[in-house]
Homo-oligomer: A and B are copies of this chain.
Amino acid sequence: MAPAFVINGELAGGKSATANNGGRLASVYSEVQTSRIDHELPLPSVLKGSFKIVDGPPSSAAGNPGEIAKLFPCLFGQPSASLVPCDGPISSEKKLKIGVVLSGGQAPGGHNVICGIFDYLQDRAKGSTLYGFRGGPAGVMKCKYVELTSEYIYPYRNQGGFDMICSGRDKIETPEQFKQAEETARKLDLDGLVVIGGDDSNTNACLLAENFRSKNMKTRVMGCPKTIDGDLKSKEVPTSFGFDTACKIYAEMIGNVMVDARSTGKYYHFVRLMGRAASHITLECALQTHPNITIIGEEVYAKKLTLKNVTDYMVDIICKRAELGYNYGVILIPEGLIDFIPEVQQLIAELNEILAHEVVDEGGLWKKKLTDQSLMLFEFLPQAIQEQLMLERDPHGNVQVAKIETEKMLIQMVETELEKRKHEGTYNAQFKGQSHFFGYEGRCGLPTNFDANYCYALGYAAGALLHDGKSGLISSVGNLAAPVSEWTVGGTALTSLMDVERRHGKFKPVIKKAMVELEGAPFKKFASMRDEWAIKNRYISPGPIQFIGPASDAVNHTLLLELGA
């Protein structure tokens, strides 16, 4: 069924844009895409009527407030802001010029943040202009932009991806780069800029806000919490957008694989999930699907587990299941697992050193350069991984850890250990591993109702806060376990999320990644159930994301548990 806005295969209003963005606008949409475009987004009640912006108490920092105060002399200490209903006119005469930029990896819902900003301007500051900077922060620095009109953004409503204006990984952080951003802000006469990004991008957004403020420029800067990894969050910013959708897409696939495992009865599926730094995605997927084995990087790190420990943990469960007659299962592994294992990091560091300076002889004399612990680990690794560690180096001479297929490595290590146990007589079954990596599939899906609504509110709030003259805040929408109408809306001082790290002898501000808390409710829930999941099969198959019906408004477990709901 061709959607209504397709004219001769080209979308209305899309012709001029086609050449710029690779043709999204010229596509004919699928039925589901089409049905989503006109899906009406509910707003929190406070955003529907007149509201005023109320400041809270002065804020501090997540750590080292003294240093943060020095790094942000203008912004440090500023209060967070809340929107509260009031009487008065719903819109103002003041017209704004606002820019928006997407920074870093894709996350479902990004387009809706932009729609939220746009609709705020339409509803509350008629005649305003919204510029979309193309290709991420580089677009800000090079003043590469497009004016976002109603027609332009229409086909992107509730759609996945970042291709409306695309994203990029450049950073605005050096004095020269600040200068370029400044020029753009002056050239476009910007009242505000919304930076949609992760921890780094929001840190830089705050630096930019500080910079503009220190120069008495009128351009304000607002941040917006984006990352599927779910590791940008705090008390006031309960979750980052995209996490909900990505986890549900991965959980759909995991659930399918579980049903397959149980039906076939002969495979162990090793599923590696995106998320290098934190294991939130893996934890959430475990809560949604109840796999037999789940490895959480933060726990491995806290318990100082070795690769042998992790392998043994898996093999113990596989043996116990074999006794019960279950020679199948599903195992979840976070992408960043080996980054959490100190001995692996140590081995890699030693190998980098050796390969840079020594001759690697076929006889293996070079191995004498390894410490005992690293040598033991090296010999423990499957040959293919040994080879990978020896051969592939990036231009800086480092192992390309990202290219190591952890799930395949673990299959081989489990195989080897099971062979050993067979000889010992403690295992007597068939083991067949199947590997999976779920990553790119989840970054650009159609946003769930939750992400669609959350992003729209985040964008709308960003518009409101900029309109009010706020700067250096991150758009914050709370009370997310309640219906949308009851969501709270405000902005949190970015400096209040910051600590410092010492790099190259200087203090650098950072928003620390929120790792999986071993004392947090989601991990505790998981930990209380995993032994049962290991042995009894409690698989849940979440099925495909639904946009209509009772199952369409579910919120992810991590968020609900963290909110105590």
Contact = CB atoms under 8 A, between A and B. Distances in A.
Contact of A32 (B32, B33, B542): B542
Interface stretch (A158-166, A231-239, A352-360, A483-491): A158-166
Secondary structure type dominating chain A contacts: loop
Contacts of A160: 256, 259, 541
A445 to B, nearest CB: 5
Contacts of A305: none
A30 B540 contact: yes
Contact of A444 (B28, B106, B257): B257
A538 B106 contact: no
Interface stretch (A173-181, A260-268, A364-372, A456-464): A260-268
A531 B445 CA distance: 26
B544 A446 contact: yes
B30 A443 contact: no
B543 A33 contact: yes
A145 to B, nearest CB: 17
Interface stretch (A85-93, A121-129, A393-401, A546-554): A546-554
A31 interface: yes
Contacts of A540: 27-30, 33
A26 B290 CA distance: 13
Nearest to A1: B550
B31 A444 contact: no
A539 B25 CA distance: 10
Contacts of A21: 262
A441 B538 contact: no
A32 B262 contact: no
B23 A536 contact: yes
Nearest to A289: B30
16 contacts: A22-B265, A22-B328, A27-B540, A30-B540, A31-B551, A33-B540, A33-B542, A35-B551, A253-B441, A256-B443, A260-B440, A263-B444, A434-B440, A436-B441, A546-B548, A549-B549
A516 interface: no
Interface in A125-180: 159-163, 166-167
A334 interface: no
B30 A541 contact: yes
A269 interface: yes
Contacts of A253: 253, 441
Given A32-B551, A440-B257, A446 B161 contact: no
Contact of A31 (B159, B442, B554): B554
**Which of A328, A444, A537: most chain B CB closer than 10 A?**
A444
A336 B288 CA distance: 34
Nearest to A535: B23
Identify the 9 closest CB pairs spanning chains A and B, nearest first: A32-B543, A544-B544, A161-B259, A259-B444, A23-B537, A31-B551, A260-B444, A162-B263, A161-B263
Contacts of A267: 440
A544 B546 contact: yes
A272 interface: no
A545 interface: yes
Contact of A549 (B24, B35, B163, B288): B35
A36 interface: yes
Contacts of A26: 536-538
Contacts of A546: 32, 544, 546-548
A540 B328 CA distance: 36
A543 B440 CA distance: 14
B33 A106 contact: no
A451 interface: no
Nearest to A23: B537
Nearest to A135: B265
Nearest to A255: B30
A326 interface: yes
Interface string A188-204: 00000000000000000
A252 interface: yes
A249 interface: yes
A265 B28 CA distance: 20
A256 B32 contact: no
A167 B263 contact: yes
A472 B269 CA distance: 38
